[in-house]
């Protein structure tokens, strides 16, 4: 195979990972074309704009487009390197849906030539790079590792801090052969300031799944401790602070569940493929998804709610200070509340108002609180830390508030006449 050819990269999928990656590749000197099946994303990019709210992304995309090195295309184009950054969701039965990976691979194959490099970045079950992307390449008449290079290079970025983490995080590159990995390293080296370690594609796929599964299980541990503390009349937040003084203990934060497009999804890839070995992982998933129901039970147990009571759910973003409502715990809380006969109104200060994954989200806090018997704070947004109980009391006939993130000043709310429930705090 030839040495590194002229830089010329086609990125397939311009979402949370693909767009910043394409932009960084362009600003580091490559000529990049970006392809997406969503015409709105392509249109925004043609105008040098982004559809995503991410620190530093608007400036980065504008710089990449104005440099003339990032352009959007309605069809994949011949390039020396193809980078696949498409979603890998789970179906309602928790089985993985790899149709978008397969579609992207099939879309690039007609443009693939000997000597090219194909990189999969999407979080995927073990074997996807060689068995799904590799199969599509073979069906196109080329052999991975011999005619074209093939790699798995998982993204590791934290939504909300994507651009900085793309540049600064360490990176794993898994090659179908060692030469494949070395070829991809030369690309990432251009913008990644973290340490780059090379391995094979299967190990890289497993490492990525392990990272997010590890976090899910550890959050489940924190949520289990919160349940125990509530039953035992203990404040879990204080107990965690004490335990974390141990030099080898870092207990995570309990909360209303685990949202986002990664952590609640990725453990299922292990569970689907290895059902016998993954009882612990499944239990952790169920523990985290069960938080919503536990919140509603605790609210009901106060005796302050009646059938038809309105709950004001504050926070649709899956975590603090981002605008992303994908797989939000708010959806599970809403379902649990409605199953108990309550009505629900959902507010978020950052998520674009409208219907997201069946969840109707409003940006108007007063309308959400008006007539509510209880307010349930699910997201630790900075804006919610300043909630004023006096103003809330003027809108709400009820005086009940549930704090799932431990961010409210309990004393101030109590002085305003509220009964305050804090997730994981068993003491009044
Ligand atoms: N959460 C808790 N308690 C905690 C930490 C998080 O309840 O102590 C909840 C959050 O509220 C949120 C969910 O977990 O609902 C996930 O948030 P997160 O900040 O842990 O992670 P994500 O989904 O935003 O990003 C993760 C990251 N993975 C790890 O930290 C191992 C990121 O580095 C990955 O790149 C990303 O998934 C991904 O794309 O896979």
The helix (run of H) or strand (run of E) holding residue 152 is: strand 149-152
Residue 166, C-beta contacts closer than 8 angstroms, at least 6 positions apart:
20, 21, 24, 155, 157, 191, 192
Handedness of CA 363, 257, 20, 150 (dihedral sign): negative
Active site positions, annotated: 208, 262
18 lines ligand 1 (CB under 6 A): no
Residue 61, C-beta contacts closer than 8 angstroms, at least 6 positions apart:
19, 20, 23, 45, 48, 49, 50, 70
Handedness of CA 20, 24, 27, 33 (dihedral sign): negative
Q: Please give the pLDDT value at position 52.
A: 85
Q: Please give the pLDDT value at position 428.
A: 55
Q: Which atom of ligand 1 is nearest to the CA of 216?
A: 14
The span from the first CA to the last CA of the chain, in angstroms, equals 69
Q: Please give the pLDDT value at position 40.
A: 92
Q: What is the distance between the alpha carbons of residues 390 and 392, in angstroms, rounded to a whole number?
A: 5
Handedness of CA 390, 391, 396, 402 (dihedral sign): negative
Q: Which atom of ligand 1 is nearest to the CA of 219?
A: 3
Going by CA atoms, what residue is nearest to atom 40 of ligand 1? 262
Q: What is the distance between the alpha carbons of residues 125 and 97, in angstroms, rounded to a whole number?
A: 10
407 lines ligand 1 (CB under 6 A): no
Q: Which atom of ligand 1 is nearest to the CA of 257?
A: 7
Going by CA atoms, what residue is nearest to atom 27 of ligand 1? 158
Tell me how far the alpha carbon of residue 273 lies from the centroid of ligand 1, in angstroms: 23
* Residue of 212, 332, 381 with the most ligand 1 atoms within 8 Å of its CB, for mutation: 212
* Residue of 158, 172, 241 with the most ligand 1 atoms within 8 Å of its CB, for mutation: 158
* Residue of 215, 218, 220, 403 with the most ligand 1 atoms within 8 Å of its CB, for mutation: 215
- The structure's pTM equals 0.95
Tell me how far the alpha carbon of residue 150 lies from the centroid of ligand 1, in angstroms: 28
In angstroms, what CA-CA distances link 425 with 132, 227, 402?
Answer: 47, 9, 11
Q: Please give the pLDDT value at position 142.
A: 98
**HSE (side-chain half, CA atoms, 13 Å) at 211:** 16
260 lines ligand 1 (CB under 6 A): yes
253 lines ligand 1 (CB under 6 A): yes
Tell me how far the alpha carbon of residue 419 lies from the centroid of ligand 1, in angstroms: 30
Q: Which atom of ligand 1 is nearest to the CA of 322?
A: 24
Tell me how far the alpha carbon of residue 263 lies from the centroid of ligand 1, in angstroms: 6
319 lines ligand 1 (CB under 6 A): yes
Q: Which atom of ligand 1 is nearest to the CA of 380?
A: 11
263 lines ligand 1 (CB under 6 A): yes
323 lines ligand 1 (CB under 6 A): no
Q: Please give the pLDDT value at position 221.
A: 98
Q: From the first residue on, what is the mean pLDDT of each consecutive set of 10 residues in the chain (428 residues)? A: 58 96 96 95 91 89 94 94 97 96 98 97 98 98 98 93 94 98 96 97 98 98 98 97 98 98 96 98 98 98 96 97 95 97 98 94 97 98 96 97 97 96 89
What DSSP letter does each residue of 242-253 carry, written as one string? HHTTSTT-----
Q: Specify the 3-state DSSP secondary structure of 215.
A: helix
Q: Which atom of ligand 1 is nearest to the CA of 379?
A: 11
């Amino acid at each position: 195979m030839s040495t590194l050819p002229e830089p010329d990269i086609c990125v397939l999928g311009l979402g949370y990972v693909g767009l910043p990656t394409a932009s960084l590749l362009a600003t580091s000197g490559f000529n990049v074309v970006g392809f997406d099946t969503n015409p709105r994303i392509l249109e925004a990019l043609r105008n040098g704009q982004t559809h995503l709210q991410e620190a530093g992304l608007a400036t980065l995309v504008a710089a990449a487009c104005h440099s003339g090195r990032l352009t959007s295309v309605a069809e994949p184009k011949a390039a020396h390197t193809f980078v696949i950054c498409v979603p890998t969701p789970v179906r309602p039965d928790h089985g993985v849906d790899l149709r978008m990976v397969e579609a992207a691979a099939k879309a690039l194959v007609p443009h693939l030539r000997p000597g090219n490099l194909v990189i999969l970045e999407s979080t995927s079950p073990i074997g996807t790079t060689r068995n799904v992307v590799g199969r599509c390449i073979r069906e196109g008449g080329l052999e991975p590792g011999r005619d074209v290079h093939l790699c798995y290079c998982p993204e590791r970025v934290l939504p909300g801090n994507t651009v900085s983490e793309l540049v600064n995080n360490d990176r794993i590159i898994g090659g179908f052969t060692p030469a494949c990995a070395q070829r991809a390293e030369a690309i990432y080296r251009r913008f990644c300031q973290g340490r780059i370690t090379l391995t094979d594609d299967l190990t890289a796929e497993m490492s990525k799944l392990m990272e997010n599964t590890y976090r899910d299980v550890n959050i489940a541990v924190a949520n289990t401790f919160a349940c125990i503390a509530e039953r035992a009349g203990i404040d879990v937040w204080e107990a965690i602070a004490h335990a974390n003084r141990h030099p080898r203990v870092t207990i995570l934060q309990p909360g209303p569940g685990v949202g986002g497009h990664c952590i609640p999804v990725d453990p299922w890839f292990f569970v689907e493929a290895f059902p016998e070995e993954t009882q612990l992982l499944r239990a952790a998933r169920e523990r985290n998804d069960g938080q919503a129901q536990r919140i509603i039970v605790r609210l009901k147990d106060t005796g302050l709610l009646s059938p038809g009571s309105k709950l004001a759910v504050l926070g649709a973003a899956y975590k603090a200070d981002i605008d992303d409502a994908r797989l939000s715990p708010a959806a599970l809380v809403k379902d649990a509340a409605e199953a108990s006969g309550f009505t629900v109104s959902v507010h978020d200060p950052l998520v674009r108002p409208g219907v997201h994954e069946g969840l109707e989200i409003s940006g108007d806090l007063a309308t959400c609180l008006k007539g509510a018997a209880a307010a349930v704070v699910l997201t630790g947004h900075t804006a919610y830390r300043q909630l004023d109980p006096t103003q809330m009391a003027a809108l709400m006939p009820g005086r009940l508030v549930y704090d799932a993130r431990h961010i409210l000043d309990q004393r101030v709310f109590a002085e305003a006449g509220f009964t305050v429930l804090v997730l994981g705090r068993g003491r009044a």
